[in-house]
Each structure stands twice: as C-alpha cells, then as structure tokens.
C-alpha cells in the first residue's frame, strides 16, 4: 500500500520516524556487537585461539542487527499510529492509511477533512526520546563491559596460567614423591617410610605457594635422611644381634639358659628394638623377647631369625640414596639443613664391627670384619672395622672384633642451626644477670632444639594442612593458615 496522496505533507515527518527507528536499532546492533566482542575477549583468556575471531564475530553480529532492523522496519500503518499520537490528529492518519484504497462518500470526506486539518496546523516531528533510553543504556553498559574485558582479560589469562602452573607443580611434586615410594623395598622399614611419604604426597596436591613446595621437598629430604639414619642404626644393632645369634634355634634356646649370654642377648635385642620404628610389630616382638630371653623356645627363636632375615637395612639404605638421586633431590637439596647429631669431640668415631671368621684345619684363621662408624653432621663419620678370626681344627667358627675409626668435625657452625621464624630474631627471656638472649645465642649450645623444632614443625604443619584439605573453609582463611606455617617454618641459611 503506498502512502496516501492526501498525506503528502506528512512524508517528511514519516521520514524522521524511520530515521529515529534506524538510529535506535543501530544502537542495539552496536551494543550487541560490543557484547559479542567482550564475550569473546573474556573467552580468549582460556582459549586464546579465539582472539582473531573477535572482530569478524562482532561485525557479523552488527550485520545481523542491521538485517533485523531492516526486516522489522515499521510499516506505514505503524508510522501512521505514531503520527496520530504525536500530532493529536484523532486517529485520522491511521484510518486513512488503513483505508487508502477505499472508495465512498465518507472516505472522500475523510481525505478532504484530513487535508484541511493538517493545513491548519503544520505537522511537526517530535523526537521520541523515551525510545532511545533502553538502547542507549544498553550501549553504555556494553561499552563498559567491553572496556572491562579488554582491561582484565590479560590478568585473567595470567592467573589462569598461574593456576595451571601450580597444578603442574603439585603434580610434579607428587610424582617425585611417588617415584621415591616405588623405589622403597617391601620390608617393614620401607613400608613405614612409604606411609609417611604418602602423606607428604597428598599434601603436595594441596599446596598453593612456591615456597611451600620448597618446604615440602625439604621435608621429603629430611624424611629420607631420617630413614637413612634409622637404617644405619638398625643395621648396626642388627649386626650385633645377629652376631650373638649365630647358631641354630635349638642351640640358641640352650645357650640362652646361661644368664650371662642371656643378658648379652637381651641387650642386643633391646638395642635393635629401640632402633626400629616403634610401631612395627617386630620392634614389639623383640622388646618382649628381651624381657626374658631364657624363656623363649627354639620355635620362637626361629621365628625371630626369619623375621630378622627379612629386615634388610642395607638394601633399604641403598634404595634411599637411589631414590633421592632418582627424584633429583640430591642436587638441589635446600642448603644448610643441618640435621644430625654430632659428637662434640672432634675426630673421634665409634666403630662397631662384627666379623665372621672361617677357619681351616691348617690353623690359619682368616677373619673378616665389617665395622660401622657413627659420626654425623656436617662432618661425615667413617667407620672401619677389622675382624680377626680364629680357626680351630677343621671347624670354622670365628669371632670377629671390629674397631672402627671415625673422623669428622662434629661441631656444626652455629649458623647452621639457627632458624629464625619469620623475619626477625626470637628473643627469649632469661633469668638473672643474663637477661634476654636470642635463639641465635642459645642454639650453639643446645643444637637439639633445632631437630625438635623441625620435627615439631613438620608434624604440626602436616596436621594443619590435612585438616584444611578435609574441611570447607574460605580460601583466604586457608591461605592465611598456610602463610602462618610459611612464617614459622625453620629456615635454613637463607
């Protein structure tokens, strides 16, 4: 339907209405395009391949918007209604447009009368400001979102990358520990350590700060070291015990009747029981046996002998150093972790040896001894053992004695012990004239404090972190707890 001839004078106003509609529509289309651009910018934080598609997508959206405006462009009747409203023409225009093809006296009159109506008052275009409010608001909001997306996306991407890195770091640490666990032998010593390492592995998956990983690795190393120490202790106690028990179970049962031997046996048994981790059953068995060795029968002795054979501290120790190497821990061992108890006497070691002699009828005895030296600390103790055997006619029973010589400088430098929680110096209140003194001053004379604290710290921390992992507490609070532990962590020579 063409615009009625009689309404020629309204053509200009009609044109303005169309332009107004276009403008409002373009605002909408622009807002949609900006929103799409912003959306893709945000999405590009994890999916960076989206970046080059932003502009094409925004342009396509704008194009679709223009097409939509074109399709929904108001028709003549709609514009006529709008004009009737604006011009207070009492529905003349829409009636005329709706009946533009019609005939009849009244329609003719309507055309004539409408013409006179508009000849009396000039039709004036009034901008429909209200129509621009929603698109203008939307466009403004879209622009803000667009700016935000451009400003914040790099940071978002960065934090996503950091998060990814953290996950990888957690995974890596856990894998490292798992590797160590796999290398441990399947005996009570190995299993005991494996359980502790397992706990560390779980902890690794909960860490958030790089410094925490450092602490964790340090703890792992400490565990390994402690394992090594224990293995050494077990090894020497075991050698001593085995030396005493070098006979058949029946003979052993008989020999134990001798109170002197029984006492010797009880001491050796107790030594090994002390050296073993307390919570393994062998330690308990040995402890019980030591209470009254003479009461044990041959069967019990045989059982003990079998169990002792299963304990292979040397292999365990070896696997520990292998594990530490395999996990690449030895190379980057955090410095200055002075753990160890050293003898304060320089240059003296204690050696224990057990020797087996084999004798031959010729009367020549050959003895072999193996000795262990103790001496730890920054100085390494070395033990050497020498055994001498005696042979008796055709039978090779030998006894060996070993003497070990240990070397090492057993006094650690004070700085290696000094840990300073956090940044500052810890002031301890003293008594009498001494007044206040610092931990730094205290430590050289009380090196054991460090070990205690390190043990205390790692247990405390593990407990706290595993509790954090189990409970639902807000992240900032969890971080707060973590930072607390970082602050009180024993520090090496940093």
Partner 1 sequence: MDLQLIDKLGRVKEEIGRAMVGQQEVVDLTLTALLAGGHVLLEGVPGLGKTLLARTLAQVLDISYNRIQFTPDLMPSDITGTNLIRAGRDEFEFHPGPVFASLVLADEINRATPKTQSALLESMQEGRVTVFGETHDLPRPFFVIATQNPLEMEGTYPLPEAQLDRFLFKVLVPYPSLEELREIVTLTTGTSQVEIQPLMTGPEILAVNRLAREVPVAEKVLEYALKILVATHPGNALATPGVRQYVQVGASPRGIQSIILSARVTALLAGRFNVSFADIEKVSLPALRHRLFLNFEAQGSGISPDAIIAEILAGTERG
Q: Which is nearer to partner 1, 128 or 267 (CB)?
A: 128
Work out which of 19, 51, 91, 172 binds partner 1, going by CB under 8 A: 91
The answer to whether 443 and 414 have CB atoms below 8 angstroms apart is: yes
- The strand pairing partners of 355, in sequence order, are 369
Q: Which listed range, 102-110, 315-323, 330-338, 463-471, lies at the site for partner 1 (CB under 8 A)?
A: 102-110
Q: Which listed range, 34-42, 96-104, 170-178, 196-204, lies at the site for partner 1 (CB under 8 A)?
A: 96-104
Work out which of 35, 36, 79, 94 binds partner 1, going by CB under 8 A: 94
Rounded to a whole number of angstroms, the minimum distance from the CB of residue 109 to partner 1 is: 4
Give alpha helix (H) positions in 72-104.
76-87, 92-98
Work out which of 23, 107, 156, 298 binds partner 1, going by CB under 8 A: 107
> Which residue's structure tokens are 């921390």?
461
> Which residue's structure tokens are 């509790």?
467
> In degrees rounded to 5, what are phi and psi of residue 60?
-65, -40
Q: Which is nearer to partner 1, 116 or 471 (CB)?
A: 116
Q: Which listed range, 108-116, 131-139, 293-301, 424-432, lies at the site for partner 1 (CB under 8 A)?
A: 108-116
Q: Which listed range, 103-111, 253-261, 325-333, 435-443, lies at the site for partner 1 (CB under 8 A)?
A: 103-111
Q: Which listed range, 92-100, 295-303, 368-376, 438-446, lies at the site for partner 1 (CB under 8 A)?
A: 92-100
Residue 83 CB-half CA count within 13 A: 30
Work out which of 95, 285, 409, 483 binds partner 1, going by CB under 8 A: 95
Q: Which is nearer to partner 1, 96 or 405 (CB)?
A: 96
Binding mask 25-64 for partner 1 (x = CB under 8 A): ----------------------------------------
Q: Which is nearer to partner 1, 63 or 75 (CB)?
A: 75
d(CA 44, CA 38): 10
Binding flag, residue 102, partner 1 (CB under 8 A): yes
Rounded to a whole number of angstroms, the minimum distance from the CB of residue 141 to partner 1 is: 29
Binding flag, residue 333, partner 1 (CB under 8 A): no
d(CA 284, CA 171): 38
Bridge-based pairing state of the strands 437-438 and 427-428? antiparallel
Binding flag, residue 121, partner 1 (CB under 8 A): no
- Chain centroid to Cα 422, Å, comes to 21
Element (H, E) at 363: none
Rounded to a whole number of angstroms, the minimum distance from the CB of residue 131 to partner 1 is: 15
Q: Please enumerate in sequence order all residues whose Cβ is within 8 A of that of 179, keeping only pairs 6 or more positions apart, or say none.
A: 323, 326, 327
Residue 204's nearest CA partner among 164, 165, 175, 163 is 175
- Chain centroid to Cα 431, Å, comes to 44
Rounded to a whole number of angstroms, the minimum distance from the CB of residue 126 to partner 1 is: 16
Residue 395 CB-half CA count within 13 A: 3
User: Which parts of 433-492 interact with partner 1 (CB under 8 A)?
Assistant: none
d(CA 301, CA 269): 12
Rounded to a whole number of angstroms, the minimum distance from the CB of residue 90 to partner 1 is: 4
Bridge-based pairing state of the strands 350-359 and 437-438? unpaired
- For residue 372 the two structure tokens come to 């262990």
Rounded to a whole number of angstroms, the minimum distance from the CB of residue 77 to partner 1 is: 8
d(CA 376, CA 232): 11
Binding flag, residue 92, partner 1 (CB under 8 A): yes
- The strand pairing partners of 402, in sequence order, are 353
The answer to whether 269 and 286 have CB atoms below 8 angstroms apart is: yes
Q: Which listed range, 24-32, 84-92, 204-212, 407-415, lies at the site for partner 1 (CB under 8 A)?
A: 84-92
Rounded to a whole number of angstroms, the minimum distance from the CB of residue 157 to partner 1 is: 51
Work out which of 101, 104, 331, 474 binds partner 1, going by CB under 8 A: 104
Q: Please enumerate in sequence order all residues whose Cβ is within 8 A of that of 401, keeping only pairs 6 or more positions apart, or say none.
A: 353, 355, 369, 387, 388
Q: Which is nearer to partner 1, 100 or 139 (CB)?
A: 100
Per CB under 8 A, residues contacting partner 1 are 77, 81, 85, 90-92, 94-96, 98-99, 102, 104-107, 109-110, 113
């Amino acid at each position: 339907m063409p615009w009625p001839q009689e309404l020629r004078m309204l053509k200009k106003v009609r044109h303005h209405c169309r332009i107004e509609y276009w403008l409002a529509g373009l605002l909408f289309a622009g807002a949609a395009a900006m929103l799409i651009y912003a959306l893709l910018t945000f999405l590009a934080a994890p999916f960076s391949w989206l970046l080059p598609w932003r502009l094409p997508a925004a342009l396509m959206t704008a194009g679709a918007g223009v097409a939509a405006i074109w399709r929904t462009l108001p028709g003549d009747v709609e514009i006529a209604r709008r004009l009737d409203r604006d011009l207070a023409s009492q529905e003349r225009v829409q009636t005329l447009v709706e009946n533009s093809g019609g005939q009849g006296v009244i329609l003719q009159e309507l055309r004539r009368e409408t013409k006179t109506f508009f000849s009396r008052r000039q039709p004036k275009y009034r901008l429909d400001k209200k129509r621009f409010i929603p698109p203008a608001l939307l466009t403004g909001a879209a622009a803000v979102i667009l700016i935000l997306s451009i400003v914040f996306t790099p940071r978002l991407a960065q934090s996503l990358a950091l998060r990814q890195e953290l996950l990888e770091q957690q995974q890596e640490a856990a894998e490292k520990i798992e590797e160590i666990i796999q290398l441990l032998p399947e005996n009570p010593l190995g299993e005991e350590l494996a359980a502790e390492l397992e706990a560390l592995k779980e902890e690794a998956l909960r860490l958030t700060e790089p410094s925490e990983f450092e602490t964790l690795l340090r703890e792992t190393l400490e565990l390994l070291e402690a394992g090594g120490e224990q293995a050494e202790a077990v090894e020497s106690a075991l050698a001593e015990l085995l030396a005493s028990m070098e006979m058949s179970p029946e003979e052993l049962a008989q020999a134990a009747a001798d109170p002197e031997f029984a006492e010797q046996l009880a001491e050796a048994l107790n030594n090994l029981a002390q050296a073993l981790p307390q919570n393994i059953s062998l330690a308990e068995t040995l402890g019980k046996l030591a209470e009254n060795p003479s009461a044990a029968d041959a069967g019990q002795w045989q059982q003990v002998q079998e169990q002792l054979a299963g304990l292979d501290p040397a292999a365990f120790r070896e696997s520990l150093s292998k594990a530490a190497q395999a996990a690449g821990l030895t190379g980057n061992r955090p410095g200055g972790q002075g753990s160890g108890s050293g003898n304060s006497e320089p240059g003296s070691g204690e050696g224990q040896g057990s020797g087996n002699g084999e004798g031959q009828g010729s009367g020549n005895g050959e003895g072999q001894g193996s000795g262990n030296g103790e001496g730890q600390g920054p100085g390494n103790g070395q033990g050497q053992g020498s055994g001498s055997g005696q042979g008796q006619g055709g039978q090779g029973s030998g006894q060996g004695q070993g003497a070990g010589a240990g070397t090492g400088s057993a006094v650690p430098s004070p700085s290696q012990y000094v840990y300073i929680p956090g940044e500052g110096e810890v002031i301890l209140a003293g008594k009498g004239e001494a007044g206040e003194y610092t931990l730094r001053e205290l430590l050289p004379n009380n090196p054991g404090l460090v070990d205690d604290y390190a043990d205390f710290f790692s247990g405390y921390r593990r407990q706290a972190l595993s509790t954090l992992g189990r409970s639902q507490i807000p992240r900032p609070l969890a971080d707060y707890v973590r930072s607390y532990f970082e602050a009180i962590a024993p520090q090496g020579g940093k």
